[in-house]
Amino acid sequence: MGLTSRSLLYAVAAVAVVCVGLTLWLWPRFAGRGPGAMLGRLGSVVATQLSVVAALGLAVNANFQFYGSWHELLGLYDDAPGAVGTWGDGGTAGPAGDPSKGLVQASGPEGLDTVHGLPKGPPAMAGKVETVRIVGKRTKAVNPAYVYLPPQYFQPQYARRRFPVIVALSGYPGGTFLLGQHLRVPQTAARLIRDGRMQPTVIVMTRPTIAPPRDTQCVDVPGGPQAETFFARDVPDALRSHYRVGHDPGAWGVLGYSSGGSCALQLAMRHDRTYTSAAALSPDYRVTNDPTTGNLFGDGKDRIRRRQEHDLMWRLRHLPLPRVNVLVGTSHSGEKNYPAAKEFLAAVRPPMKAEAIVLDHGSHNFATWRRELPAALQWMSRSLTFPEDVVGNL
């Protein structure tokens, strides 16, 4: 049984119930002072606690999809060690894919079958959500993704039209499942498009790390995972090769929450010829090393420069600003990032433009981000241009 399967969860929960029942039933028999009674009490306590903790752990993982498989839980990945390694032929850091088999490849459910509230019905009426694996042409990195295709994508009058696209990034250590189940990106977009408050848009939902369990922070690590190249170059190339999405940067935006929001700002400000809009909910404004990231900037002479260039406040003060639009979500109280958001927004100057969603109160959680998401998607829709190019034209 799969790690996230309901069958496994129900089986372990049943074992936990049985263990609790047996403990209550057998406890009087273990009331003596001899070694057998003591071992019986110890064994019943250990078995009961382990079964209850396992059931709770499986329930939490099934709900939040921290680990999608036994391989991920154990740190085992195809053709790769689990975390930090050398990128290239000598060893990879994360799953490696074969671009010759296609840059967008169909995949298994990836938890989509347990996401509630997805659009139902004929695709031309309700739209569709697909599960795919995106393979990097340059990096050979592989990332699972959900792809929301709006109803118009399947309607005859749009058959030769290309669509704007939003790349939506989860936080760390979350993944695509959280974007669907807890942030409710496809459900919210479908409702906004149906109500005419958002233009038809293709939305690609994925995680910001390409080498789990390492947090790659959308950085090209010297000798390590090339996460920035993957999201700035490989992902757009892959999507353009498979879906009817715009070729012009004006049709491309990136959205994220928490570390995914940090990546969104980094990608737009560092790659304005790929993404011209970024919406960041509760982001950080600089990339730093921590136990989950390892050494992101290397040990060479240019490590200080690399670290500075991933500090968005440093970029605002010392480098020419890109012609991009950014949106920041924060809260007056309940979130620690309000002072940093205020400083960032005050430092933005033309040609860059910045706006904000500022709640009176909100915490670093999905309840806050769900409140901000509709406004963020509508803002993104106004910022992106519907492509004028049609299929067959480059």
Question: Is the residue at 76 inside a domain?
Answer: no
Question: Is the residue at 85 inside a domain?
Answer: no
Question: Is the residue at 73 inside a domain?
Answer: no
Q: Do 54 and 174 share a domain, yes or no?
A: no
Last residue of a domain, one of 44, 63, 82: 63
Range of the domain at 271: 90-383
Q: Do 136 and 22 share a domain, yes or no?
A: no
Within 8 A by CB and 6+ apart from 113, the residues are none
Q: What is the pLDDT of residues 322-355, one digit of tens each?
A: 999 999 999 988 888 899 999 999 999 999 999 9
Q: Are 303 and 297 in contact (CB under 8 A)?
A: yes
Q: Do 121 and 35 share a domain, yes or no?
A: no
Q: How far apart are CA 169 and CA 261, in angstroms?
A: 7
- The answer to pTM > 0.85 is no
Q: Do 212 and 286 share a domain, yes or no?
A: yes
Q: At 164, which amino acid appears?
A: P
User: SS3 string of the chain?
Assistant: CCCCCHHHHHHHHHHHHHHHHHHHHHHHHHCCCCHHHHHHHHHHHHHHHHHHHHHHHHHHHHHHCCCCCHHHHCCCECCECCCCCCCCCCCCCCCECCHHHCCEEECCCCCHHHCCCCCCCCHHHHCEEEEEEEECCCCCEEEEEEEEECHHHHCHHHCCECECEEEEECCCCCCHHHHHHCCCHHHHHHHHHHCCCCCCCEEEEECCCCECCECCCCCECCCCCEHHHHHHHHHHHHHHHHCCECCCHHHEEEEEECHHHHHHHHHHHHCCCCCCEEEEECCCCECCCCCCCCCCCCCCCCHHHHHHHCEHHHHHHHCCCCCCEEEEEEEEECCCCHHHHHHHHHHCCCCCEEEEEEEEECCCCHHHHHHHHHHHHHHHHHHCCCCCCECCCC
Q: Do 44 and 172 share a domain, yes or no?
A: no
Q: Do 49 and 102 share a domain, yes or no?
A: no
Question: Is the residue at 389 inside a domain?
Answer: no
Of 102 and 272, more confident: 272
Q: What is the pLDDT of residues 208-250, one digit of tens each?
A: 999 988 899 899 999 899 999 999 999 999 999 999 999 999 9
Q: Do 112 and 10 share a domain, yes or no?
A: no
Question: Is the residue at 203 inside a domain?
Answer: yes
Q: Do 24 and 106 share a domain, yes or no?
A: no
Q: Do 144 and 188 share a domain, yes or no?
A: yes
Statement: residue 80 has pLDDT above 60: no
Question: Is the residue at 131 inside a domain?
Answer: yes
Task: Work out how many domains the chain is built from and give that number.
Answer: 2
Q: Are 104 and 149 in contact (CB under 8 A)?
A: no
Statement: residue 87 has pLDDT above 80: no
Statement: residue 52 has pLDDT above 60: yes
Q: How far apart are CA 66 and CA 7, in angstroms?
A: 18
Statement: residue 103 has pLDDT above 90: yes
Q: Do 30 and 121 share a domain, yes or no?
A: no
Q: Do 247 and 346 share a domain, yes or no?
A: yes
Question: Is the residue at 391 inside a domain?
Answer: no
Of 206 and 4, more confident: 206
pLDDT on residue 69: 56
Question: Is the residue at 261 inside a domain?
Answer: yes
CATH number of 252's domain: 3.40.50.1820
Q: Are 326 and 278 in contact (CB under 8 A)?
A: yes
Nearest to 209 by CA among 218, 220, 222, 200: 218
Q: Do 99 and 178 share a domain, yes or no?
A: yes
